[in-house]
Amino acid sequence: MAYNELGDLPLDDFRRVGHEIVDWIADYLDNTEQYPVLSQSKPGEIKSQLPDVPPLQPESLDSIMADFQDIIMPGITHWNHPNFYAYFSNTGSVPGILAEMLITALNVNGMLWRTSPAATELEEVTMDWLRQLLGLADGWDGIIMDGASMSSMVAIAAAREAVEGLDVRTKGMAHATVPQLRVYISEQTHSSLEKGAMVLGIGQENVVKIPVDCENGMDVDALETAVLRDIDEGKRPFFVCATVGTTSATGVDPVPAIADIAQKHNMWLHVDGAYGGMAAIVPEKQHLFAGVDRADSLVVNPHKWLFTPMDLSAFYTRRPDIVKRAFSLLPEYLRSAETDANTVRDYMDYGVQLGRRFRALKLWFVLRAYGQEGLIARLRDHMRLAQLFGSWVEASPTFERMAPIVFSTVCFRAHPQGIDDEETLNKLNEALMNAVNDTGHIFISHTKLQGSYTLRLAIGNIRTAESHIRQAWILLQKMLTHIKIDS
């Protein structure tokens, strides 16, 4: 085959370097533990090693790979490290990585059915498979988004579209008949909900944060009181978010009671299960999802706790017609016969993105490569490890558990005997977290619960084993003995 001289690099180069990269990836996954989990790079250190101007002449793939190894890798925080416990850990899995290679090679833009029928139809199929795994009823429709933040913003936009007589789509927010729209979340709801409200012109002041009870779930009486007060004042409650697995302490909002209030006051109920929602595939955890079937929309993130590489968020709704009404816009240059005949779905109509990656392919690889049983077994094991770590914390005279362990995340802190001043404990725990993270052996993060600096150990990487959390526990105890706090 003759190449255009000004075309792509020779395929012989692709073959040679491609094989090297596959070997590199396999070695990396085999040896991730040799790297510090948290990058030890200082601000600006990576940039200072890179030229200020782009290369004038072509450079060889070998020299690019060498710089990748020498300059880029030291600036990587290793999410694939089995001792990554910060935020919510995730996984670049073997099937996911392989699928990503194909996704990039095909470089499909799945905006319309005709721009790759397989991309659209595989998305329909994989979203429906995942729906079944999650135990959702037939009428739920899934759309792949880049992240939960986008999914939740789309939910708020759809909820606004559903408000009778508003027509913000055409007239905008400043129109005379638009009342003051109100969104309800809990104090523990992820910040993405507030961001979505900011972007959509609802405004931060119209995001009402309801207090939580001692198990970090939304106080439903406080929700009802707030809604009634707002109605009294002529405001329009239209959206409430319930979270199953909050980001801070993995609390679960009382979804059935929130659903009652949503129904009574004609509000859209969105469930944020970005992390915890994945546990719905585990039969003995299904009870945590009671009431979710009454919601209007739901987000779960396979890129968080279902071994699918970044990024893939699954947005589900029982009202896809409303989502479409909020987002569809068909310029002449995107018309097609199938679209006109209404025989296919064009995913561009269900969100902000026009061009869309073929993300469904990686979820398809993941779901097939592990199977339902394999996925359940892995999530179950992560939850077992969290309970085990929690039992060590509880049995220890120097540590204490700070929240119930509902999923695979443990909230805890050091609380040595004789130190009871909260400010001292906060300083001590912050110093402990920094000390263990600086070792490079583990990476944990923190939150504040009722003012207390709380450490979080979130298990979610497919390669994390019992030996790893044992190492983490030993390291935490050892580093604690080195910390001196003046009080």
Ligand X SMILES: *Cc1c(COP(=O)(O)O)cnc(C)c1O
Instruction: Using CB under 6 A, list all residues that contact ligand X.
Output: 88, 147-149, 190, 192, 243, 246-247, 272, 274-275, 301, 313
* Stated length of the chain: 487
8-state DSSP, 10: P
CA atoms within 13 A on the CB side of 316: 28
Minimum CB distance to ligand X, residue 147 (Å): 3
Please, which residue, 89 or 339, has the CB nearer to ligand X?
A: 89
Q: How far is CA 203 from CA 92, 166, 195, 242, in A?
A: 36, 17, 9, 19
Please name which of 182, 129, 92 lies closest in space to residue 316, comparing C-alpha atoms.
Answer: 129
Q: Which is nearer to ligand X, 133 or 144 (CB)?
A: 144
Q: Which is nearer to ligand X, 100 or 311 (CB)?
A: 311
Contact 370, 306 (CB under 8 A): no
- Residue among 274 and 383 whose Cβ is closer to ligand X: 274
Nearer to ligand X, 36 or 302 (CB): 302
Question: How far apart are CB 152 and ligand X at their closest, in Å?
Answer: 7
Q: Which two tokens stand for residue 425?
A: 């404990």
Q: CA triplet 220, 228, 238: central angle to 5 degrees?
A: 80
Taking the complex as a whole, the smallest distance from the CB of residue 445 to ligand X amounts, in Å, to 12
Q: Determine the residue with CB nearest ligand X.
A: 147
Contact 269, 295 (CB under 8 A): yes
**Which residue stretches of 233-284 are H helix?**
255-264
Shortest distance, CB of residue 252 to ligand X, whole angstroms? 11
Name which of 275 and 389 has its Cβ closer to ligand X: 275
Kindly state the smallest distance separating residue 192's Cβ from ligand X, in Å.
5
Decide if 144 contacts 314 (C-beta within 8 A): yes
In DSSP notation, 18-80 reads HHHHHHHHHHHHHHGGGS-SS--PPTTTTGGGS-SS--SS---HHHHHHHIIIIIGGG---TT
Q: Least distance in Å: CB of 480 to ligand X?
A: 28
Structure tokens at 245: 């697995």
Closer Cβ to ligand X, 82 or 147, answer by number: 147
Of 484, 394, 364, 386, nearest to 435 by C-alpha is: 484
412: DSSP letter: E
- Least distance CB 409 / ligand X (angstroms): 10
Q: How far is the CB of 114 from ligand X (least distance, A)?
A: 29
**Residue in the structure block whose two tokens are 């409430």:** 240
Residue among 150 and 431 whose Cβ is closer to ligand X:
150
